[in-house]
Structure 1
Amino acid sequence: MPVKSDTTLREVLEYDTIAVVGCSNSPGKAAHDIPKYLQSHGYRIVPVNPFADEILGEPTYDSLADVEAEIDVVDVFRPSEEVAGIVDEALARDDVKVIWTQLGIRDDDAAKKAEDAGIRVVQDKCMKVEHARLV
């Protein structure tokens, strides 16, 4: 069952490194402004976007598999129909602790698959909103 309690959300928000799948280099888009907010609050942002070289001063990666750094949270800014593939990429790693899908993004089957593998899942919630509310 995806994370819903404030206590568990606070625990999730204690992690440091967030891979942002679908991170945008366009100010004004949620996929840019939310990671920028998180970065300004001390999180390490790892942008995953095959169409950019750098976002928010960080090098971008084509996929989760290409990220060499340890990832705590995978924050998803891609359509719901892409979540299953992103979860599969996360499961291929041994460091991901949380899959977080932003507002309007959910895939219950992929969430169950991640949870069955021991990964916490937060669906259909804005990480910026939850951070501002809870931290």
Structure 2
Amino acid sequence: MAFENPSRERIKELLSEAQNIAVVGLSDKPDRVSYTVSEAMQKKGYRIIPVNPMVNGTILGETCYATLSDIPDKVDIVNVFRRSDQVVPVAEEAVSIGSRVLWLQLGVYNEEAAEIAKAGGLEVIMDRCIKVEDSILLPGGK
């Protein structure tokens, strides 16, 4: 059966309930899409937790972690800015840390990763921009 994203109503619920969003592939360069999207989500009230093994320090004022498993706090959404062919290990790690949602950004789609996440109890959203969805579904904020 072909993959389908959750309904808009369900995506709105997931965003409303979320506090901590781990962003895999978050760049420390302000001109990158991952940075601008994460910065916008941070300004909307979400806590952004950067995950990038190439950055030692902070991004957007938050400690950057090398892996999802290194994050000491609960993660509600794992938001992924990686190529589609690189997301299977991210899905496996998202399951292992007990995240609730695996969110693959616009242009990122991997059915194997989606199956791994779903089998691990996560809801999956693929090929959608979290910032765009949040702006449409929660224009006034959470």
- 4+ aligned runs moved over 6 Å, structure 1: none
Measured on the aligned residues, the alpha-carbon RMSD in Å equals 1.0
Provide the residue aligned with 1:81 in structure 2.
Answer: 85
In structure 2, stretches of 5+ residues that fail to align are none
The structure 1 residue matched to 2:13, chosen from 7, 11, 20, is 11
Contact 1:22 1:78 in 2 (8 A): yes
Per-residue deviation at 1:4?
Answer: 3.4
Identity of aligned residues (%): 38
Provide the residue aligned with 1:117 in structure 2.
Answer: 120
CA deviation profile, 1:48-90 (whole Å, cap 9, x unmatched): 0112211000110000010001100000001111110101111
The structure 1 residue matched to 2:97, chosen from 69, 75, 93, is 93
Which is worse superposed, 1-10 or 123-132? 1-10
**Distance in 2, Cα, partners of 1:23 & 1:33:** 10
Per-residue deviation at 1:12?
Answer: 1.4
CA deviation profile, 1:104-124 (whole Å, cap 9, x unmatched): 001011101211221000000
In structure 1, stretches of 5+ residues that fail to align are none
TM-score (norm 2): 0.91
SS of the counterpart of 1:20? strand
The one-letter code of the counterpart of 1:71 is V
